[in-house]
Amino acid sequence: MIVLNGKDLAKKIQNKIKEDVELLKKASITPGLAVIMIGDDPASQVYVKKKAEACKEAGIYSVVHEMPENIKEETIINTIKLMNENQNINGILVQLPLPPHINQTKILEAIDPKKDVDGFHPYNMGRLCLDLDSFVPCTPLGVMKIFEEYGIDVKGKDVCIVGASNIVGKPMAALLLNEFATVDICHIYTKDLKEHTKRADIIIVAVGKAGLITEDMVKDEAIVIDIGINRLENGKLAGDVDYDNVAHKCSHITPVPGGVGPMTIAMLLSNTIKATKLKTSE
């Protein structure tokens, strides 16, 4: 069984990004990322802090716009418009989830698609589905990089994705389909989840429910990618897979923490560099 080490791979990618940034700086270009954070959700605060730290480490300029929970939609959109116009900002991301009174679609659509480093704008999502060059959401992109690094060819494989959100499950499905995998997407209303996971060569789970994927749901020698992040009562982090009992059956598995999580941040930096290069080539 091979443990897919996203932490080390992310480090390797971030070192390469650091070199790219140094080269850009020699040409008097400093990549810039703006993060908009609404409210004080503790998990979002941790993610935003990690993203800012990673930018600093790579030499990318970053700015965090913190806004109160009761902020007006219009104020967020005006801030996005300013960032769209700002020549020092190449990438913009709005940390999700948003408070219930804010229309998420309106907010994401306000971002200039060329600065949409999270890849959530309908323009980029549409291009991804058409297998055209686009900004690809960071978490699924990170999973594809793990496959690439470990020589896992998804072509013709039966892949079961558990979780069908716009930010993880759906773009993951599009990326895999573009690489000619046979994709099965499950969600909360799937009748018999085990019947789907049991057949899969590759299981990718992004639900947010610790212990959802148990030993009996996984076929021998399957590849298991665990995207879920759950805080257990004992304070530890866990994924959606019952790792201790599932790992021995797998040919490859990602741990939590140290699997997909660090790759998400590395891909955000990578997308920010992509946006910077796109602008300089205009």
Nearer of residues 10 and 17 to ligand NAD, judged by Cβ: 10
Count of residues in the chain: 282
Tell me which stretch binds ligand NAD (CB under 6 A): 9-17, 107-115, 153-161, 188-196.
Answer: 188-196
- Using CB under 6 A, pick the residue from 33, 34, 98, 193 that binds ligand NAD: 193
Q: Cis peptide leading into 100, omega within 30 of 0?
A: no
Tell me which stretch binds ligand NAD (CB under 6 A): 84-92, 112-120, 224-232, 271-279.
Answer: 224-232
To the nearest whole angstrom, how small is the minimum distance from the Cβ of residue 70 to ligand NAD?
A: 23
Is 95 among the residues known to form the active site?
A: yes
To which residue do tokens 């085990």 refer? Answer: 194
Determine if 165 is a binding residue for ligand NAD (CB under 6 A): yes
To the nearest whole angstrom, how small is the minimum distance from the Cβ of residue 189 to ligand NAD?
A: 7
Determine if 162 is a binding residue for ligand NAD (CB under 6 A): yes
Determine if 169 is a binding residue for ligand NAD (CB under 6 A): yes
d(CA 184, CA 194): 12
Report which of 64, 69, 13 is spatially closest to residue 35, judged by C-alpha positions: 64
- Active-site pick, 20, 114, 116, 118: 118
Provide the residue type at 230 as one letter.
Answer: N
Write b or e for each residue in 144-182: b if 16 or more Cβ atoms lie within 10 A of its Cβ, otherwise e.
bbbbebeebebeebbbbbbbbbebbbbbbbbbbebbebe
Determine if 48 is a binding residue for ligand NAD (CB under 6 A): no
Determine if 91 is a binding residue for ligand NAD (CB under 6 A): no
Determine if 206 is a binding residue for ligand NAD (CB under 6 A): yes
To which residue do tokens 């997407």 refer? Answer: 185
The count of C-alpha atoms lying within 13 angstroms of the C-alpha of 175, restricted to the half-sphere facing its C-beta, is 27
d(CA 120, CA 125): 6
What is the set of active-site residues?
A: 51, 95, 118
**Interface with ligand NAD by CB under 6 A: which residues?**
139, 162-165, 167-169, 186-188, 190, 193, 206-209, 212, 227-230, 260-261, 264
